[in-house]
Structure 1
Amino acid sequence: MLKWLWLSALIVLLDQASKLAIDANMQLYQSIPLLPYFNLTYARNTGAAFSLLAHAGGWQRWLFAGLALGISSVIAVWLKRLQRHETLMAVSLSLILGGAIGNLIDRVAYGYVIDFLHVYYQDWHWPAFNVADSAICIGVGLMLLENLTSKAATHSKTDRIES
């Protein structure tokens, strides 16, 4: 199922191109309203998801880079071992892999991840995120869907056999 690596490469390309465009055309913390409840807001995240450990002093850069590298390696092996019919799992893993590599590049190159997608409602603000983060979330969602649908199909087959 390594044929799905093109999707990972596409995510990395879109992620890095969008981050470079934001960095070249916006000032840090600048916010541009695009739609109601959605802005482009340039931020830098030295931590993990939701800025976890963002103010830890710098050591977290290499911890998160190492975790991303390790997880990416596990995902690549997992992808390689998938069966031909496991298409949804291959897509989900490829999205997660592309997102992990996209953020890994930032972390190693800059020491932070560039975020710029900002969703809010009145005084409630979701932490800024990027294309890589989006790909990871969609990939995890598809993985959960795959897990739920395969379990439902297994239970359905078991019920028919027992009848």
Structure 2
Amino acid sequence: MRFYYYIIAIIVLVIDFITKLVIKTQLNLGDEISVIGNFFLITSHRNRGAAFGILQDQRTFFIIITVIIVAGLIWYTQVMRKTGAHPRLLSGLGLVLGGAIGNFIDRARFGEVVDFFKFNFGSYGFPIFNIADSAIVIGVALILLDTLITTRQESKDAAKSEHKGMQENE
């Protein structure tokens, strides 16, 4: 499939939209449902900022930045597709794109993002997040993994080429 990374982005958008809709319509703000004791809960939460709640109430800033990032992701994905990039990289870009657009829609429509996955590690509560956030994190991890693998392979290829050149000069 030629444009599977856009299908990945659309799947993320649909799942993100549906889960946020369920949270908004079935739970009141602050309601919690235990999934695994106090360790994992579904919590109706709103975030008017970014990760970890930073930059609260900076809606215009987030909208502008997200438009730039989405445009850059689409451009970069097309460039990478044409160069024959590994599906791992393109899948990562699709996940980040879908997640970015999912949270963008919330910010543009409501001025806040619906978050609902809550994990507690002892006395430390991890920031509450959603499907879009998860897709972004997994996508970035795939992009970093691809970069590491590609860089390592290029280093090996360069070393082989250098070694071969040295043997030919002897």
TM-score, normalisation: structure 1: 0.93
User: Which 10-residue stretch deviates more, 126-135 or 77-86?
Assistant: 77-86
- Runs of 4+ with deviation above 4 angstroms: none
- In the alignment, what sits opposite 2:117? 117
- Kindly provide the amino acid, as one letter, of the partner of residue 18 in structure 2: A
CA distance in structure 2 between the partners assigned to 1:4 and 1:134 by the alignment: 16
Q: 1:73 Cα shift?
A: 0.5
Structure 2 unaligned residues grouped into runs of 5+: 164-170
1:78 aligns with 2:80: no
- Which deviates more from structure 2 when the two are superposed, residues 80-89 or residues 63-72? 80-89
Q: Single out whichever of 144-153 and 75-84 deviates more from structure 2.
A: 75-84
SS at match of 1:109: helix
2:24 is matched with 23
Taking the aligned partners of 2:77 and 2:46, their CA distance within structure 1 comes to 31
Kindly state the Cα deviation for residue 158 of structure 1 after the two structures are TM-superposed: 1.6
Hey, what does 2:67 align to over in structure 1?
69
CA-to-aligned-CA distance 1:112-149 (integer Å, 9 cap, x gap) = 00000001112100010000000000000001100100
- Separation of aligned partners in 2, 1:50 and 1:157: 41
Give 1:14's aligned residue: 15
Corresponding residue SS for 1:101: helix
- Partner residue of 2:168? none
| Distance across 2 between alignment mates of 1:150 and 1:91 | 15
Number of matched residues? Answer: 159
Q: What residue identity is the alignment partner of 2:52?
A: F
- Partners of 1:115 and 1:133 lie apart in 2 by 9
What per-residue deviation string (whole Å, max 9, x for no partner) do you get for residues 72-117 of structure 1? 0100011111123431111111100000000000001110000000
- Structure with higher Rg: it is 2
Q: CA deviation at 1:3?
A: 3.8
Q: Map of 1:117-136 to 2, 5 A cutoff?
A: 117-136=117-136
Identity of aligned residues (%): 32
2:120 match: secondary structure: strand
SS in 1 for 2:49: coil
Specify the code of the residue in structure 1 equivalent to 2:148. Answer: L
Give me the whole-angstrom Cα distance separating, in 1, the residues matched to 2:153 and 2:101: 33
Gaps of 5+ in 1: none
Give CA-to-partner distance per residue, 1:25-67, whole Å, 9 cap, x none: 111111111014111011000001111122xxx4x11110111
RMSD over aligned CA atoms reads: 1.2
The residue aligned with 1:39 is 41
Using the TM superposition, give the Cα deviation of residue 2 of structure 1 relative to its aligned residue in structure 2, in angstroms: 3.8
Specify the SS of the correspondent of 1:114.
strand
Whole-Å separation in 2 of the counterparts to 1:3 and 1:145: 19
